[in-house]
Amino acid sequence: AYATDSSTLYGVIPTSGDDSIVTVNATTGAVISTVGTIANGTSELISMAYHPGPTSGAGDDQLIMLEVSGSSGAVVWVDPATPSAKNTYGSLIWSPASLFTGLAYDSVQGMLYASTPFGPDGLYEIDLGTCPPSPCTSNQLSGADVPISDGSLSYSPDSQRLYLLGTSFG
């Protein structure tokens, strides 16, 4: 997840135990540092998006992530300044949630997007304003039946476009 206001590239390293939030060198892809550890046991953080917050200050920024455990999933977030304190937006109705690999936050519309190559494949929007309570409201974007495997999403506030990268199949 790229923080446009601080030019910081964040990543997540999921493990069978706790997951690490890291900063990444945007040129080389090398991990620069671990900035936090999420104590989430066997759950895994599988994708991340950056939410710059409603103000220009860093105090309301969020790293939004999809956390999966078995076939269920939830949208969670951390403050980049305190990235070891996880907060939960709400659960998702998708099953298995691990098939949703891309995540991007549209800071202009205030909408979270996810991508999946499986049934029905394509792009989905998640309305964070509906969660809590769980589950978060989500729906497939009309006309966005895009069969992309291992999809990665990004949103550019400059172009106001959503970008999808992955392997095409089907």
pLDDT confidence of residue 119: 63
| Residue 142 pLDDT class (50, 70, 90 cuts) | low
Q: Two tokens at 165?
A: 């990268």
**168: pLDDT strictly greater than 80:** no
Condensed to tens digits (0 to 9), the pLDDT of residues 22-61 reads 999 999 999 999 999 998 888 999 899 999 988 777 778 9
Each residue's pLDDT tens digit, 51-98? 998 877 777 899 999 999 888 899 999 999 888 899 999 998 877 888
Give this prediction's pTM. Answer: 0.89
Mean pLDDT of all residues in the chain?
86
- Retrieve residue 62's tokens: 């969020």
DSSP string, 52-98: --SSSSGGG-EEEEEEEETTEEEEEEEETTEEEEEEEEEE---TTGG
Is 161 buried (19+), middle (13-18) or exposed (0-12) by CB count in 10 A? exposed
**SS3 of 63, please?**
strand
